[in-house]
Amino acid sequence: MNKLLRLWTFTAALFLFSAGQTLKAQFLMDMVDTTKDVGKGILSIYKKYDHIRISGYMQPQFQAIQTKGAKSYSGGDFAPNVDNRFMMRRGRLRIDYIHFSDTKKPSVQFVFQFDGSEKGFFTRDFWGRIMENNTKLFSFTAGLFARPFGYELNLGSGDRESPERGRMSQSLMKVERDLGAMVSFEPRERTNWLKYVKLDAGVFNGPGLTATADYDSYKDFISRATLKPYPLQKNLSLSAGLSYFNGGLIQGDKYYYTLSSENGQKQFTIDSAQTNIGRKLPRKYYGIDAQLKWKYKNGGATELRAEYWRGTQTSSAATSETPAAVFSTDAYYARQFNGAFFYLLHSFDSHNQLGIKYDWYDPNTKLSGDEVSTASGSHAGDIRYNTLGMGYIHYFDENLKLVAWYEFIKNETTALDGYTSDIKDNVLTLRLQFKF
């Protein structure tokens, strides 16, 4: 651990005073805003190059973890005999096409993005959007795209300060995207309060990219109401959002566990009725988030982000991750969960940034500590995790940035074998991002 901290400190100090670019954030399903300089610039590129824009980034990185073969949500589990590794975390190439109407307004947008690494090539986005140009209020999107839930989930990996999304995001909505259709209310070219409002509502398959096809006929309804950055003062802005997810999955076998209390003892009880097979099991989430940002004259900024989720998740005994297939032999477990993400970011100028991130994920809020035991019928999928990350981000220019990030990961101490104390799985990430 001391070696990892010394390496992190050395790297941060080495680049502290280098040069860089203005800090920006990009959301996965952002609309082209023709009222802003960035949006106008993008549209000019589309027009110049026959309405096509090609962009991308790659993220080679080095990681070190405390224990060989440790399980990790920071880029995936380490191999059995490995406690350090080089890897290509992401290699994205994105192609955008926009068609303009006779009135020179964008009417149709098409996006294709894939991810390439040493693990292979995978489709990440493949969607089309129709933009309504009479009132300039609505759009319709269909295909494979990001679910409209939460703030961190929709912040692009090329622009997010921490190397990875939180454990809760990765467990409940792995890879963020799904096949579906969505209607959006997002006023364009407005000068009144409506320009700060965005509403999304969509219907999705459910499994996302964890499965090659939908495995049941149940669909997920996902919606989000967003307040875009609103100026409270000259240099202070507030943004916020409310998210709702109502979905489910088919029960493949008859065994279904829920938590109950008998004689003061909490334990999982089984429902094994044959009629359980084929019914819909719940996945229901609620989310709220807010962001405050102070900007300074020298190009620096301070930003505070807070996000909270809670709800019901159905999964397996060993994990709370959304199932990628119908269980044929494993039992289903329903749990009440909650979790949160907090960011404190400070940019000294347009080149150097420090960040602190704290997140927790409690997959079973009804059990804690020694209540998580074989006596209560608990498993690894009931254990709470807290993660404190901190790091330095250096923006050399608009095409290159360095991230040095260290995460302190602490699991709940329980009465389960293997989890009676904290697992040694703190991880250091050193990443370069090349972008065009």
* pLDDT digits 0-9 by tens, 147-184: 999 999 999 999 999 999 999 999 999 989 999 999 99
- Distance of alpha carbon 133 from alpha carbon 151, whole angstroms: 27
The DSSP output letter for 425 is: -
Query: Residue 206 has which token pair?
Result: 């459910």
Task: Provide the CA 360 distance to its chain's centre, in angstroms.
Answer: 14
Sequence-distant (≥ 6) Cβ neighbours of residue 218 within 8 angstroms? 206, 247, 248, 249, 250, 280
* Longest pairwise C-alpha distance within the chain: 73
What is the torsional sign of CA 136, 159, 111, 290? negative
Angle (CA) 229 161 387, round 5°: 110
Q: What dihedral angle (degrees, nearest 10) is formed by the CA atoms of 55, 164, 211, 340?
A: -130
Whether residue 201 is predicted with pLDDT greater than 50 in this model: the reply is yes
79-130 confidence digits (pLDDT tens):
999 999 999 999 999 999 988 877 777 789 999 999 999 999 999 999 999 9
CA-only gyration radius of the chain, Å: 23
Mean of the per-residue pLDDT values of the chain: 90
Whether residue 344 is predicted with pLDDT greater than 90 in this model: the reply is yes
Beta strand pairing call for 120-131 and 138-146: antiparallel
- Distance of alpha carbon 267 from alpha carbon 287, whole angstroms: 28
What is the torsional sign of CA 152, 156, 162, 165? positive
243-296 confidence digits (pLDDT tens):
999 999 999 999 999 999 888 889 999 999 999 999 999 999 999 999 999 999
Are the C-beta atoms of 56 and 93 separated by less than 8 Å? yes
Are the C-beta atoms of 300 and 263 separated by less than 8 Å? no
CA distances from 327 to 208, 280, 317, 323 (A): 17, 13, 12, 8
